[in-house]
Amino acid sequence: MKTVKVIALIFLIAFVGIQFIPTTLNQSKNVLKSDFLLVNNAPKIIRKALENSCYDCHSNNTIYPWYSKIQPAAWFLENHIKEGKKELNFSDWTTYSDRRKKSKLKSIISQIKDDQMPLTSYTLIHNNAILSSKEKMVLYKYMNMLNDSLR
């Protein structure tokens, strides 16, 4: 029994200790002129769908939930956001070449169609990120239109 208490105490001390290890927050007060929604003058339904379902992981401004202040969840979120932005960053849209934009748009279209985004692990906690059938259809058409408009 004493061994169990010692192990529990070690875990408790480690848990408290890791709370003091900081993470880098993905927050910006400014919307960049290179932002996808701004550049494309996206309609309200597109703006709402992307901000609710995509922008937390794929932009420079994440709205953090309460559990983001607790380690190890904060590390998981930080890593997840870095990976998401590496794949696609809506805040840097104009920095992409037309070829890369077409590739990203095709990927977005495919992932909407196949229900791959937003991730299930995200929508479990963020119910408002679940795309309705109407939002999927509108996003699908909008992304196809943008894709067709590129050379």
The pLDDT tens digits for 1-34 are: 788 888 887 877 777 777 777 777 777 777 668 7
* Rounded average pLDDT over 105-128: 87
The mean of the pLDDT values for the chain is 86
Gyration radius of the chain over CA positions? 19
- Interval 128-140: pLDDT, tens: 888 999 999 999 9
Residues 28, 30, 35, 40: what is their CA dihedral angle, to the nearest 10 degrees?
A: 150
Specify which of 75-79, 124-128, 130-134 reaches the highest per-range mean pLDDT. 130-134
| 107-111 own/partner pairs: CB under 8 Å, 24+ apart | 108/139, 108/143, 109/140, 109/143, 109/144, 109/147
Q: How far apart are CA 79 and CA 87, in angstroms?
A: 13
What pLDDT is recorded for position 135?
92
Confidence class of residue 107 from pLDDT cuts 50, 70 and 90?
very high
Instruction: Name which of 71, 145, 77, 67 is nearest 108 in CA terms.
Output: 145
The two three-digit tokens of residue 31, written as one number: 């919307």
